[in-house]
A and B are shown apart, each in its own frame.
Chain A
Amino acid sequence: MRINDCDPGLKYEIAAEPGGEGIKACFGCAACSARCPVGALVPDYDPRRLIRLALIGDRERVLASPLIWLCSACHGCAEVCPQDVRFSEVMTAIRNLASRAGYAPPSQKAIAKQLAAHGRLLEVTDFENNKRAELGLPPVSEAPRDYQTILGLAPEAGQEPGEGA
C-alpha cells in the first residue's frame, strides 16, 4: 500500500467526532484484539487493524469495510485498553463518518427508518402495552413528536412532554 495515496486527515476527522477522540492514542498493543468477542468469531475483525488503517488514512478500506458494522459495543476493549482509546466509541465515530459517506449497509438504513418512524428499534405490540396496563402505566404511543424532533424529522418539539421524557 502506498502511504502517499492515503489521507492523513482521516484520523483528525474521526477524532473530531463525538467518541472518536481516543483514536490517536493507540500504540498497537492488541489488547483489544485479544479481548474482542467478535474477533473470536470473525477472524477478519481485528480492532487494532482497523485503527491502524484509520491512522494511516486509507479512507476507502476503513469506511467501506463491512467489518466496521460488526462491533457489538460490549466495551470489553475499553476495559483492557492501556491507553484509554475507547474503541467501541471510536467505532461509532467511524460508522457515523461511513454513514455520511453513504456506506451504511441496507440493514442499518432499515433500522434508521424504524427509529424515525417509531422512536425505537423494536416494534411495540399489545404484549408490551398489556404489561404496562397491568402495572398502571399508560400505553406507549407509536409516533411521539419529540423523537422526531430530536432526529430532526419534525419542525418543532411538542409542548407536552411525551411519555418517557
Chain B
Amino acid sequence: MPRPALIWLEGPGLEGLDREMVARAAQVELAEPGRGLAPEAAVVTRAEARTPESVKSWLQGKPVQWLDLGAEVGGGQPAHRLARAAAAVARAAGRAGLGVLAPVYAPQPAQRVLVFGQGVAALLAAHAVAGLGHPVLLAWSGEDPSRPAAGDDPQEATRLGALLPAGVELSPRTDLTRLEGAAGAFTAWLEDVTGRRAERFGAVLLAPPATWTGEAPPAGLRPELVARLDQAPEPPAGDGWRRVAILAGVNGPATAAGFSLALHAALAMQAQPRMQAHVFFREALVAEPGGERLYRQAREAGALMARVAEGGLRVTAEGRGLAWDDPVLGEELELMPDLVLAGAGLEASLPEVLRDPVLWPQGPWLAPEHARLGGGRTARSGLYLLGAVAGAQGAAAARVQAAAAAAEAHDLLGGRATPLPVVRHNHCASCLTCVRVCPHGAPRYDNDCITPAPAACVGCGICAAECPAQAIAPVGWGQNELIEGLKRGLALAAKPALVVMACGQSALPAARELSLAGHEWPAGVLWLPLPCAGRAGLELILRTLALGAAGVLVAGCHEGMCRSLAGNLRARLRVGEAAATLGELGLSADAVAFLPLASNQPLALKDAVTALHGRLAARGE
C-alpha cells in the first residue's frame, strides 16, 4: 500500500493552520511540491482545478486526492480548526492510500445519428445534427421527406426537405421496430422493402409527427353551424355583419399551437369585409415565440377576445346562440354566430417503439417534466424526443429543441475521454439493479454482462449506492474507497462526529462559501463530498454510523433540480430507510437526516448542521 504524503498548497481558508501539526495529527508525511521524487501517494490541499500544472505533472501517475481543504475547515477556534483539518486530511489520505484506480475509458462511441420522424421537427433535427458533422440517417414511414406534419408550415417543410445537407442519408418507407441502448451505442432495428436490419447509432432523435385533435364544441350547438378550425373553413357568406365564434380552448386549456391557429383563423376572418370574429378561450396562450405579437395583431385587426370560465360558454336559442358572462361588464352577453369554429390542438404520442415494456419500462417517465430535461432530452442519455411529443408547439420551439438536442448529442459523441463506471464482473450477479436505477441509462445488459454505454455516464454514483454486490461504481466512488477514507477521518474527528454527505452540485459549494467566510463549524463535523446525494445510499449511511459517526446529514439538491433527475429523492428515501432501521434497533432515528438545498442557501446548511450536531451533542452528555 502506498504511503500518502501531504502536499500543502496555501489557499483561502487555510490561514493560520500549522501544516506540520495537521500532518502529524493525520499521521502523514509532509512533502514539498516539486522537490525530489514524488511521493508514492499524495493528498493535495486544493481542488484539482486550482492546482498549478507543475504540481500536477510532478504527481503524474500517482494516486492523488485533491482535497478542497479550505472549504472543509472553516473558521473558529484554532484547536477546532486543526481537528477538522486533520480529520479531512486523514479521510483523503485513507482514500489515496488505496493506490491508483486506473480509469476505464469508453471505446469510441458510434458517430451516426438516427433521426426518425416526419415533418418540420424531424427535418430541423436532421439539419442541426448534420450541421455539426455527424452522419445522419433520416428515416420515416412515408414517401416524401418534405411532407408536412400537422401544424407545420408547408413551405418550410419543402425548403428544409429540398436543402438537406450532404451528410444526411435518406430512408423512406421505413419502420423503426425496435430500439435499445444509450448514448454512443444504440441499436435500432429498421424495416423497409429490402427487409429488416439492425444498425448502430450514437444518438437517436425521434420526432413523431403531430396530429390535430379537435375540441368538442359545447353540447347542443346546431351541427350545421360548427366547423373544425384546422380544416381551412370557408367564411360565412351574406349581407351585413357576419359573426364567427372561434373556440380556442373553452373546455380545457388549448395548446399554444391551437391558440395560434385560432388567432390565424381570426386574422383570416377579419380580412373579410363586414366580418366580426369572436375568439373564446380560458387562457390566452401566448408564451410561444411570436405568440404575443400574433395576439396583438388579431386584436388590432378587430377580432374580439372573450375570456370565459370553465364551462362558462352556454348554448342558447335552441342551439343557435352562445352566451357567457363577461367579467369586465359584469353581465351576460349573447352571440348568434353565423359559424362556430371548434378549436384544435397539436398532439403527438410516445413513439410505438418506446412502448416495449421490457426494453422501455419507464413509459411516460422516460420524459417527465423536469428542470434538466429541456431541449428534448429524456431519462435515457442520447435519446431525444422532439416536436409536439416534447411540448414544442410550432416551428420556433421545434428549432430551439432540435438545436439543443443536436448540440448535446454532439457533445456526448465528440470523442472526449469519458471514464466508464467500473464493473467487477466476478461480483456482479446480473440483478440489473444498476440498469434500473441509472438515471442516464448508462449500464446495459449486453453480451451476458453489464456493459456501460460509451457516452452516457456522468459519474453520479447512484449505481454504486444501489448495487447490492458493490460490483459497479464510477472510478473512485466505490464503497471501499469511501469507507476507507471515512474510517481514518472518523478516527481523528472530535466527538460527537457528524458526517455531512454533501452533493457536489449544491451542498458542497454552499459549505465552501460559509467556510471561506470564516464560519465556525462544530468541532466534530467531517465532510464527505459526493458527486450526487444519490451516491449516499443506505449501506454507506449505516456503515458510517457503525464506524463511529454519531450522525449523518445527507445534503442534496431541491426536488426537481437534481442533475441526475432523482438522485436527491433517492437520497431522501435511503435516509428514511436508515432512520427506520435505527428505530428498529432501538437507536435514535433522528441521528440521520436529509436536507434539500441549493448552492445559494448556505444559511440553511449552517442551520441544519448546527441543529443536528447540537442534538447529537446534547444526547452524548
Contacts and interface: CB of A to CB of B under 8 A. Distances in A.
Contacts of A2: 333-336
A12 B307 CA distance: 22
Contacts of B336: 2-4
Interface string B293-311: 0011001111011010000
B189 to A, nearest CB: 52
A56 interface: yes
Given A27-B295, A27-B299, A27-B305, A52 B276 contact: no
A3 B328 contact: no
Contacts of A114: none
Given A48-B328, A53-B329, A4 B335 contact: yes
A48 B307 CA distance: 14
Contacts of A49: 328-329
B365 interface: no
A89 B79 CA distance: 75
B334 A24 contact: no
A86 interface: no
Given A8-B241, A49-B328, A52-B328, A83 B335 contact: no
A165 interface: no
A56 B304 contact: yes
A24 B302 contact: yes
Nearest to A58: B329
A48 B329 CA distance: 9
A28 interface: yes
Nearest to A22: B300
B302 A11 contact: yes
A49 to B, nearest CB: 6
B570 interface: no
A11 B274 CA distance: 13
Contacts of A11: 302
Contacts of A26: 299
A4 to B, nearest CB: 5
A12 B276 CA distance: 12
B8 to A, nearest CB: 60
8 contacts: A1-B331, A1-B332, A2-B334, A3-B278, A3-B336, A24-B301, A25-B296, A27-B299
B81 interface: no
Among B278, B302, B336, the one with the most A-chain Cβ atoms within 10 Å of its Cβ is: B302
- Category for how many chain B residues contact A: 20 to 34
A123 to B, nearest CB: 42
Interface string B217-258: 000000000000000000000000101000000000000000
Interface of B: 241, 243, 274, 276, 278, 284, 295-296, 299-302, 304-305, 307, 326, 328-329, 331-336
A39 to B, nearest CB: 14
A12 to B, nearest CB: 7
A125 to B, nearest CB: 47
Interface string A28-57: 101000000000000000001100110110
A4 B328 contact: no
Nearest to B326: A52
Contacts of B302: 8, 11-12, 24
- Residue of A1, A11, A49 with most chain B CB atoms under a 10 A cut-off: A1
Binding site secondary structure of chain A: helix
A83 to B, nearest CB: 7
Listed from nearest, the 6 A-B pairs whose CB atoms lie closest are A8-B276, A3-B335, A52-B328, A4-B336, A24-B300, A2-B334
Contacts of B304: 8, 55-56
Contact of B243 (A4, A7, A83): A4
A28 B335 CA distance: 20
B294 to A, nearest CB: 13
Contact of B299 (A1, A3, A25): A25
Contacts of A56: 304, 333
B547 to A, nearest CB: 62
Nearest to B330: A49
B333 A3 contact: yes
Contacts of A9: 241
A130 to B, nearest CB: 53
Contacts of A55: 304
A12 B326 CA distance: 22
Contacts of A30: 328
Contacts of A8: 241, 243, 274, 276, 302, 304
Interface string A98-120: 00000000000000000000000
A137 B326 CA distance: 58
Contacts of A24: 299-302
Nearest to B278: A3
B296 A83 contact: yes
Contacts of B329: 1, 49, 52-53
Interface string A66-86: 000000000000000001000
Contacts of B296: 25, 27, 83
A86 B279 CA distance: 24
A146 B473 CA distance: 94
B316 to A, nearest CB: 10
A56 B304 CA distance: 7
A67 to B, nearest CB: 13
Nearest to A12: B302
A8 B302 CA distance: 8
B259 to A, nearest CB: 14
A22 to B, nearest CB: 9
Nearest to A46: B328
Given A8-B276, A27-B295, A53-B329, A1 B300 contact: no
B243 A3 contact: yes
Contacts of A52: 326, 328-329
Contacts of A4: 243, 335-336
B333 A1 contact: yes
A25 B292 CA distance: 12
A28 B328 contact: yes
A45 to B, nearest CB: 14
Contacts of B307: 28
Given A1-B331, A4-B336, 17 more contacts: A1-B333, A1-B334, A2-B334, A3-B278, A3-B333, A3-B334, A8-B274, A8-B276, A8-B304, A24-B300, A24-B302, A25-B296, A27-B305, A28-B305, A48-B328, A52-B326, A55-B304
